[in-house]
A and B are shown apart, each in its own frame.
Chain A
Amino acid sequence: MAMRNAYVDQFPSEARLISAAFWSSFLALAIGGSLGLVQALHRTDYLRFIDSVDYYTVLTAHGVLLAITFTIFFLVGIFTWAVTTSLDRGLEDLRFSWAWYAMMVVGTVLVGVSILGGVVDSIDMQADVLFTFYAPLQAHPAFYVGLVLFVVGTWLAGADWFRTWWAWRGENPDERIPLPTFMTLTTTLFWYLCTLGVALSILVLLLPWSMGIVDSVNPLLSRTLFWYFGHAVVYFWLMPAYMMWYIMLPKLSGGKLFSDPLARVVFVLFLLLSTPTGIHHQYLDPGIAEGYKFIAMTNTMFLLLPSLLTAFTVVASMEHGARQRGGTGYLGWLKALPWRDPVFTGMALAGLMFAAAGFSGMINAGMNINYLVHNTWWIVGHFHLTVGTAVALTFMAAAYWFVPQVTGKQLWNRSLALGQVLLWFVGMTFMSNAMHRSGLFGMPRRTAEPQYQGFNFEPAAGTVGEINAQVALGAALLTIALALFLLNMVMTTIGGESDAIPDNTYAGTLSGPEDAPVVLDNLKLWTAIATVLVVFAYTLPLASIIDAGGLFGPGIEGFQLTIGIDPAIVLESVREVMP
């Protein structure tokens, strides 16, 4: 038998943990992704087999399972790989590691069952509160408890990575932090910082409120605490994708990472700026002064810098790789890249889509122009390019490399994998383009019934019918791509062991850590500055919100979407807008 040096050969116990995390992620992807098709066909009126009232249950499950469960289960696997591989040592205590994984699973089950209760009568729960769980929408306490368990599970996972690094540092006091570990630790630090907000929101406000311990909540306070976490969570998903672009794409291209110091600067900037930006999701919220929103906008615009640095570094690394493979010319080197490789192509196309997402993100981030697209389908188009493509497509492409690494089994069908990543790219093009365009003429998001009587939307190009067709087509292609991905993963996993697994390595660097100022590795310093920025951005807005509405709000009672709708309340609401 040839000497194989895959991850599973180096760290067999950790490989089992990562494999379990990946499969938890894929299960969430399968359920959440399928529900996406149900919504797309329902909204566009092509196929309706659920009640429109149940749309919110489906939407909640789609959002939570994909934005939280799929992404985070996958990234804890990637980060565990990154720390163990780059430090060349296993986790400190596997029982502890399985404990945080189990906690995340229990949390997911609680959340999932409470959402499912919205459509299954025998489950006496509901959580039709969408991914954002805005008050006064109220979920069953199990939903909030599940979220807390899940987040605490990720905190413990972070502690696990830190423990491993501390143990390594004890033996290597003069060494620089290896880049993959550095990326993991900086990401974990801002995750700790930002999840404090959502933990406060749930434990102090929403959970006691759902259990009847307190009678009321301050909706604006809970929304602000949600977005304190809600924008940084975007970077929690994105950082592992960035990590893949930095340390895998150059290697797959046949070269080395252009600059290790620049990569460190980028991750430090994300640690500093991910959290004090959340208020840009609340430009239309009354009760927050414009000045605070302006500060959030400024911080958000600064976040473009690390993304542009990333675009430069990653493309430069790919060009270096292509030239090592014989590529020449100003653009001719592109032909020398390994486009036949689904891992490379999936990640490269995900990066390309992320550039488009960056442009629409700038529009979302601008205070004035945001008013045009706020709460429209534009926003949904935007985040299907970020989390739905930059993250999801990178993760799927990465899985084609990682699953063989953690199982010792060769990818079942490489050609199918290439077709799958291309199909995802094309499907998302159709769907997100139509969503963006419909947002420009004001078509709302978060509704099963976007049409109004006596009013016609006026698209700039084409018709509403064409836009709906484009969304339905895109969603169908994405679902086929999803099925192909899962088929490949299942067939790979049930296949036999192979000796032909590539070595477990990541990209070398043209400019290594020795070129980076030592201060970049001072995690305490960056965490302190990040904390100060958060204090600057949030202290006054939060104080003002509490001052105006009280900690528990002015008698805001819970509202549950699917547990009986009182006709009197509906009539009262209609009278308010149509006297």
Chain B
Amino acid sequence: MRISPGALLVVIAVLVPFVVEFRTALSWFGVELSVLESVALAGVLVLGLLVWAMWPQNGGEMGSADSN
């Protein structure tokens, strides 16, 4: 993993205010996200974060013994 599980949890928690505020900020530019769209956006971001965190740092050797 690129970051520790504890740090990953914290990053996911910190993502929440960004998504919530992002919805308000977008509305200033005339882009209205529904609650479901916001939840979906958060889901995509969390998924992307998980993939990034789990992906081995050297790029192609996921699961190999020396991936740390």
**A residues touching B (Cβ–Cβ < 8 Å)?**
334-335, 337-341, 345, 349, 352, 356, 418-419, 422, 425-426, 429-430, 433, 437, 460-462, 466, 469-470
Stretch from B21-29, B43-51, B58-66 at the A interface: B21-29
The docked-state distance in angstroms from the alpha carbon of A338 to that of B5 is 11
A418 touches B13 (CB 8 A): no
A339 contact set on B, CB distance < 8 A = 4, 6-7, 9-10
A466 contact set on B, CB distance < 8 A = 35
Please report whether the interface of chain B is mostly helix, strand, loop or mixed according to DSSP: helix
The docked-state distance in angstroms from the alpha carbon of A460 to that of B31 is 11
A425 contact set on B, CB distance < 8 A = 13-14, 16
A426 touches B16 (CB 8 A): yes
- Report the nearest B residue to A341, measured CB to CB: B6
B10 touches A345 (CB 8 A): yes
A429 contact set on B, CB distance < 8 A = 16-17, 20
The answer to the question of B3 belonging to the interface, with a C-beta cut-off of 8 Å to chain A, is yes
Question: Which one, B14, B21, B24, contacts A460 given CB within 8 A?
Answer: B24
Q: How many residues of B contact A (CB 8 A)?
A: 21
Some 15 contacts from A to B, beta carbons below 8 A apart, are A334-B7, A339-B10, A340-B5, A345-B6, A418-B6, A422-B10, A422-B13, A429-B16, A430-B20, A433-B21, A460-B27, A460-B28, A461-B26, A461-B27, A462-B23
Given A339-B6, A339-B9, A418-B6, are A461 and B16 also a contact pair (CB < 8 Å)? no
B13 contact set on A, CB distance < 8 A = 349, 422, 425-426
Please report whether the interface of chain A is mostly helix, strand, loop or mixed according to DSSP: helix
B4 touches A340 (CB 8 A): yes
B5 contact set on A, CB distance < 8 A = 340
The docked-state distance in angstroms from the alpha carbon of A425 to that of B10 is 10
The docked-state distance in angstroms from the alpha carbon of A339 to that of B7 is 5
Given A340-B5, A418-B9, A461-B27, are A433 and B35 also a contact pair (CB < 8 Å)? no
B9 touches A422 (CB 8 A): yes
A433 touches B9 (CB 8 A): no
- Report the nearest B residue to A334, measured CB to CB: B7
A462 contact set on B, CB distance < 8 A = 23, 27, 35
- How many Å from the CB of A373 to the closest CB on chain B? 15
B6 contact set on A, CB distance < 8 A = 338-341, 345, 418
A433 touches B20 (CB 8 A): yes
The docked-state distance in angstroms from the alpha carbon of A339 to that of B35 is 30
- Supplied contacts A419-B9, A426-B16, 14 more A-B pairs, CB within 8 Å: A334-B7, A341-B6, A345-B10, A349-B10, A356-B17, A422-B13, A425-B14, A425-B16, A430-B20, A433-B21, A437-B24, A461-B27, A461-B32, A462-B27
The docked-state distance in angstroms from the alpha carbon of A115 to that of B36 is 42
- How many Å from the CB of A344 to the closest CB on chain B? 9
A338 contact set on B, CB distance < 8 A = 6
- How many Å from the CB of B21 to the closest CB on chain A? 7
- Report the nearest B residue to A419, measured CB to CB: B9
B32 contact set on A, CB distance < 8 A = 461
B4 touches A461 (CB 8 A): no
The docked-state distance in angstroms from the alpha carbon of A429 to that of B17 is 6
A337 contact set on B, CB distance < 8 A = 7
B21 contact set on A, CB distance < 8 A = 433
A335 contact set on B, CB distance < 8 A = 2-4, 7
From B3, B6, B16, B23, residue with most partner A Cβ within 10 Å: B6
Given A460-B24, A462-B35, are A433 and B7 also a contact pair (CB < 8 Å)? no
The docked-state distance in angstroms from the alpha carbon of A430 to that of B35 is 13
- How many Å from the CB of B60 to the closest CB on chain A? 22
B14 contact set on A, CB distance < 8 A = 349, 352, 425
- Report the nearest A residue to B24, measured CB to CB: A461
B24 contact set on A, CB distance < 8 A = 433, 437, 460-461
The docked-state distance in angstroms from the alpha carbon of A419 to that of B4 is 15
A437 contact set on B, CB distance < 8 A = 24
- Report the nearest B residue to A423, measured CB to CB: B13
From B17, B27, B28, B35, residue with most partner A Cβ within 10 Å: B17
Per CB-CB distance, the 4 closest pairs between chain A and chain B, nearest first, are A340-B6, A461-B27, A339-B6, A339-B7
- How many Å from the CB of B14 to the closest CB on chain A? 7
- How many Å from the CB of B16 to the closest CB on chain A? 5
- How many Å from the CB of B64 to the closest CB on chain A? 22
B17 contact set on A, CB distance < 8 A = 356, 429, 433
A422 contact set on B, CB distance < 8 A = 9-10, 13
- How many Å from the CB of A395 to the closest CB on chain B? 19
- How many Å from the CB of B30 to the closest CB on chain A? 11
The docked-state distance in angstroms from the alpha carbon of A318 to that of B8 is 18
B3 contact set on A, CB distance < 8 A = 335
- Report the nearest A residue to B6, measured CB to CB: A340
The docked-state distance in angstroms from the alpha carbon of A352 to that of B15 is 13
A470 contact set on B, CB distance < 8 A = 20
The docked-state distance in angstroms from the alpha carbon of A422 to that of B58 is 31
- How many Å from the CB of A458 to the closest CB on chain B? 12
The docked-state distance in angstroms from the alpha carbon of A492 to that of B43 is 35
- Report the nearest B residue to A463, measured CB to CB: B35
- How many Å from the CB of A20 to the closest CB on chain B? 33
- How many Å from the CB of B40 to the closest CB on chain A? 15
- How many Å from the CB of A350 to the closest CB on chain B? 13
The docked-state distance in angstroms from the alpha carbon of A339 to that of B9 is 9
- How many Å from the CB of A287 to the closest CB on chain B? 37
From A334, A338, A429, residue with most partner B Cβ within 10 Å: A429
